Amino acid sequence: MKNKYMPTALALYINYFVHGMGAIILSQNMDALMQQFNTDRAGVSYVISGLGIGRLLVLFVSGALSDKFGRKPFVLLGIVTYMIFLGGILVAPNVSVALILAILAGMANSFMDSGTYPALMEAFPESSGSANIIIKAFIAAGQFVLPFIISFLIANDLWYGYSFLFCMAIFVINGLFLLKLQFPAHKVEKAEVKEESVSESNEPKSNFWIEGIALILIGFTATATFYIIQNYLPTYGQEVAGMEKSAALKLISLYSAGSFTAVVVTSILVAKWIKQVRFVFVYPLISLVMLVLLYLFPSPMMCVVGSFVIGYSAAGGVLQLALTTMSELFPKNKGTITGIVYTASSLASSILPALIGVIASSNVSNIMLLNIVITAIGVILALIVNIRYNMTMSSRS
């Protein structure tokens, strides 16, 4: 709490509270937007796909530029771009214009990521894992609050656009605060670099082609594990485990509860007792065991237990901890590293829908089998990372 960057961190977290709402605001206002764009649900879903497109377009580039020009400009650029999306949707006349605006929203998310994650790691170098994983808690909070706002607007026959204006108002106020707040230095002074190079010249260095590539691929596998469960567990519960539709839909609430619990527990453990790299291995291993049990013994009770356990172990911050581990092993270009890892993550959520659609058409159980294979690969990659981490850090001590 004595860290001078605490106000900056809080403002950065508030951005992700709004992003949590922004990520689902189109789907939550589906009916109103269908009428405005004169389209159907498929048309609005097409617009929503723009979020992923925009994110992929600029993630790597914005990360590299963040290393060059600093974190603050990209956080502010993310806010401005997000506001263009929020305001633009309210006057968008058709699907084509709305798609362009959704792409801008995806780009805004990338801009914020490339500035925020490195800034938090630089502001809290001794607890960077905890600092990054807390972002998930604020995203979850935003996604929890927005449905209540939408329900209130509908119940009182109020304009849907107030939900967008609410997000814009928070961004304006928070952006004005961020303009005045101090960010940590994003470049190491030359004297420090020289001193480090002398002291570490005889020490084994991290190998990008081994643990670096492994961590990038974990960005894909970690995202894939929770993406498949988040989107297809209700279907699996209903069609394979024989659950009622209403009960199957509630599995996602348990999944979200598990994710939020993990954020709280893991942030405490990482800050005080356990290195984040251990969770990069242990959590996917727990997910793998649970997925195998779900596949071999599908039942309503197994789905209930599995939704919470996988929410905890797969969606509780493995991606953020993998990013933090990579930044610890390769500390010089945190923005670039953020861009690479999150590009791999975005590829997972872009590629999987089409792949799963083909698999699900033959047998829904095969979706779970696919997740087992992907998660098993992630466990192997994480084991390699832990072995290499031990070798590198033991030689430096």
- Residue 108 belongs to domain with CATH number: 1.20.1250.20
Q: Would you call 288 exposed, middle or buried from its count of C-beta atoms within 10 A (0-12, 13-18, 19+)?
A: buried
Whether residue 86 is contained in a domain is answered as yes
Do residues 274 and 365 both lie within one domain? yes
Running DSSP on this structure, what letter comes out for residue 159? -
10, HSE (Cβ side, Cα atoms, 13 Å): 8
Tokens coding 335: 């923005």
Do residues 159 and 255 both lie within one domain? no
Contact status, residue 134 vs residue 13, Cβ threshold 8 Å = yes
Using CA atoms, how far apart are residues 116 and 136, in angstroms rounded to an integer? 13
Position of tokens 């691929």?
217
Do residues 154 and 251 both lie within one domain? no
Do residues 291 and 235 both lie within one domain? yes
Q: 316, 323, 174: which is closest to 255 by C-alpha?
A: 316
Q: Per-residue pLDDT for the chain (397 aa), expressed as one digit of tens each?
A: 577 889 999 999 999 999 988 888 888 888 899 999 998 888 887 888 888 888 888 888 888 888 888 889 999 999 999 999 999 999 999 999 999 999 999 999 999 999 998 898 888 887 777 888 888 888 888 877 888 888 899 889 999 999 999 999 999 999 999 999 988 886 654 444 444 444 444 445 778 888 889 999 999 999 889 888 877 888 888 888 888 877 887 787 788 888 888 888 888 887 778 888 899 999 999 999 999 999 999 999 999 999 999 988 887 778 888 888 888 888 777 788 888 888 888 888 778 777 777 777 778 888 899 999 999 999 999 999 999 988 887 665 5
Using CA atoms, how far apart are residues 341 and 223, in angstroms rounded to an integer? 11
Domain boundary among 139, 160, 187: 187
Whether residue 1 is contained in a domain is answered as no
Do residues 218 and 328 both lie within one domain? yes
Do residues 141 and 244 both lie within one domain? no
Domain boundary among 136, 152, 187: 187
Q: 270, 338, 349: which is closest to 117 by C-alpha?
A: 338
Position of tokens 């993310």?
78
Whether residue 197 is contained in a domain is answered as no
Do residues 216 and 157 both lie within one domain? no
Domain boundary among 122, 154, 187: 187
What global pTM score does this model have? 0.81
Do residues 241 and 386 both lie within one domain? yes
**194 phi-psi bin (left φ>0, alpha ψ -120 to 50, beta other):** alpha
Whether residue 104 is contained in a domain is answered as yes
Whether residue 106 is contained in a domain is answered as yes
| Tally of domains within the chain | 2
Domain of 111 in residue numbering reads as 6-187
How far does CA 281 lie from the centroid of its chain?
Answer: 18
Do residues 355 and 242 both lie within one domain? yes
Q: 52, 19, 60, 75: which is closest to 338 by C-alpha?
A: 60
Whether residue 194 is contained in a domain is answered as no
Do residues 254 and 383 both lie within one domain? yes
Do residues 87 and 121 both lie within one domain? yes
Whether residue 54 is contained in a domain is answered as yes
Do residues 28 and 159 both lie within one domain? yes
